[in-house]
Amino acid sequence: MAATHVGCGIEGPTLPRRLQTSERHTVAEFRILALGGDGIGPEVLASGLKVARAAARLHAIRLSVSHDLLHGAAWDRWETFCQDETVAAAHAADAVLVGAVGGPAWDDIRVAGGPERQDGLMRLRRELDTFIGLRPAWHWPQLGDHAPIKRELANAADLLILREMCGGIMFAQPRGQTRKDGMRVGFDTAAYNEREVRRFACAGFELARARRSLLVSADKANVLESSKLWREIVSEIGLEYPDVELRHMYADNCAYQMVMNPRQFDVIIGCNLIGDILSDVAGSISGALGLLPSACLGARRCGRFKGIFEPVHGSAPDIAGMGAANPVGMVLSVAMMFEYGMCRRDVAQRIRLATVRAMENGARTPDIGGESATKDVTEAIVSELG
Ligand code: IPM
Ligand code: MG
């Protein structure tokens, strides 16, 4: 079998000392709130849970899972994108697993009260204050020529997009639509205060320090005031991390560089909007959006992070219900749940290895050049777990 490269999270530590979760925490029962969401969300979530249960069984970990509706599914039932009860259940759980949210059926629904009311996932991120969005991406040699980027360019690329999740243009007020000079006007506010930038930048430096100590901060400081402040604060924090090489890069150039020369990057930090865009660009390095996992982490309590774990991909309504969705992004998000939410890096590694082996043995959905169904890939991963 070819050398197994599983990228970020398996070679060397992914977590810095201050964020480390090396202590093994044994909780009597790890409680997961599972929110399938919309489109392919419930299908990939079922795969993720199947793998989670199989891995937990092998390590004698007790999981308890409760289900609820989010976003479009919640709207159809209750006419709200995220119920207060769901927020309370998320607070009470040890981790939240999300499939995917959104779809054209709900795009035009207008609800007063900001993004927390307009999007179920945004509400959860904000309510749980999970401000550190980890979105790792690496080149998968297993995909061979199916990868959209030439192998010579992407080979061995392994990067971590860190997206600020709870502030910036996606949340700041004022925002809305109005009329001016007889025309309709839509507006948002791109604002960050120094506390928000500081706590996020610190996480970026810590994570970079635990990897290859290269930090690129992507912004638009050539035009935006909020980016000028962002850059200033990131530079200030950088003085506390002389061992981490800091580069500021305009976000547009960063997107270009990611495609042209992805190997130059280690950790990239960006505001909510820039991080959202760059993490999709990272999908081209991995080979498909369906392979990308993510974790939104908040404060660390008792050694563990409270987190929302979700694949980066959307709800793909065009293939919903066809059993063809790629479960890998979800399964790798489950691995992140074990690592950050439960301090069980050993279980996370096992899941990542099983996923790579299943792929090497031909379990691939159509988006990455295969013919396997979601359930076949899931079963292959479960059987590779051992
Ligand atoms: C993501 C998604 C979400 C976001 C949407 C579904 C609200 O694009 O997680 O990247 O913009 O954050
Ligand atoms: Mg996105």
Q: What is the pTM of this model?
A: 0.92
Least confident of 127-131, 162-166, 241-245, 282-286: 282-286
Residue 179 burial class via C-beta count within 10 angstroms: exposed 0-12, middle 13-18, buried 19 and up: exposed
How much distance in Å is there from the Cα of 273 to the middle of ligand 2? 9
Of 145-154, 357-366, 368-377, the one with minimum mean pLDDT is 145-154
Question: Binning pLDDT at 50, 70 and 90, where does residue 16 land?
Answer: very low
Residue nearest to atom 10 of ligand 1 (CA): 276
Question: Between the CA atoms of 372, 8, 168 and 237, what dihedral angle is there, to the nearest 10 degrees?
Answer: 180
Give mean pLDDT, residues 240-258. Answer: 98
Provide mean pLDDT across the span 228-237: 98
Q: Which residues line ligand 1 (CB under 6 A)?
A: 101-102, 119, 121-122, 276, 312
Over residues 179-207, mean pLDDT: 96
Query: 131 and 201 in contact (C-beta within 8 Å)?
Result: no
pLDDT value at position 9?
Answer: 34
Q: What is the mean pLDDT of residues 26-40?
A: 91
Closest residue CA from atom 4 of ligand 1: 276
CA distance 373 to 363: 8
Local structure of 265: helix, strand or coil: coil
Looking from the CA of residue 119, the nearest atom of ligand 1 is 7
CA distance 69 to 240: 43
Length of the chain: 386
Which of 119, 123, 125, 310 should be mutated for ligand 1, with most atoms under 8 A from CB?
A: 119
Any alpha helices (H) in the chain, and if so which ranges? Answer: 41-58, 72-78, 84-92, 104-107, 115-118, 120-128, 151-154, 194-209, 225-238, 251-260, 272-286, 328-336, 342, 345-360, 374-385
Higher-pLDDT residue of 23, 80: 80
